[in-house]
Amino acid sequence: MLAPYVGMVADFTNAVLDLVRQYPNWSALIVFGLAFGESLAFVSLIFPFWGIMVFGIGPLLGASDALNFWTVVSAAAVGAALGDWLSYWLGYHYHDQVQKMWPLKNYPDLLDRGRVFFKRWGAWAIVIGRFFGPLRASVPIVAGITEMPQVRFQIANWTSAFLWSAVLLAPGKLGIGWLVKYLNFG
């Protein structure tokens, strides 16, 4: 049952990585799109774009001099922050309608737990949520639904987006670079 989905994700991943290899000047825009999709409410539950960035784009950054690490990290950060911003905005303005959509309609206690989470952690909830899979795309929409103050949300959103993108892409960049140096004995 999962085989067609896994095959589709693998085909998409290969197509994205081939595109980055063939057109390295487009890598920042491609990563922007992946990070934006990864940060949109509920999209990342279906398409795990972070995996492409960690296991595909990161190592390509390390193996290629054509890809500027900080440009790609910045593009990922801006994409992630804008995706979260849109999710927050949707939750803030359409909280009644969003609560009637999947998966929130199936798990109504999630919002109550979200309120407790935000009350306990405040802006740190955004930072913490950025680094945990399913929370990454759901925390911003819940922040909007619970009417977290926008300035507080945006400060946490933008700072955590830059931290997240660097942490996500650095292992591939540094790991491949170290391995190449090690294998060349230089």
Q: In three state form, how does the secondary structure of 89-109 look?
A: HHHHHCHHHHCCCCCCCCCCH
Give the list of residues 6+ apart from residue 125 with CB closer than 8 angstroms, or none.
Answer: 117, 118, 139, 143, 156
**Does residue 121 surpass a pLDDT of 90?**
no
* Mean pLDDT of all residues belonging to the chain: 82
Cβ 56 vs Cβ 17: under 8 Å: yes
Q: Quickly state the pLDDT bin for 75 (edges 50, 70, 90).
A: very high
* Among the ranges given (2-6, 80-84, 97-101), the one the predictor scored with the smallest mean pLDDT: 2-6
Query: What is the model's pLDDT at position 108?
Result: 75
Average pLDDT over residues 119-134: 86
**pLDDT reported for residue 117:** 81
Tell me what the mean pLDDT of segment 18-46 comes to.
Answer: 85
Collect all residues with Cβ–Cβ distance below 8 Å to 93 and sequence separation of at least 6.
144
Question: What is this structure's pTM?
Answer: 0.83
Unique residue bearing structure tokens 């946490």: 156
State yes or no: pLDDT of 186 exceeds 60: no
Residue that wins the pLDDT comparison between 102 and 97:
97
Mean pLDDT along residues 20-41: 88
For residue 80, pLDDT beyond 90: yes
The pLDDT of residue 73? 93
User: What residues contact 183, with CB distance under 8 A and at least 6 apart?
Assistant: none
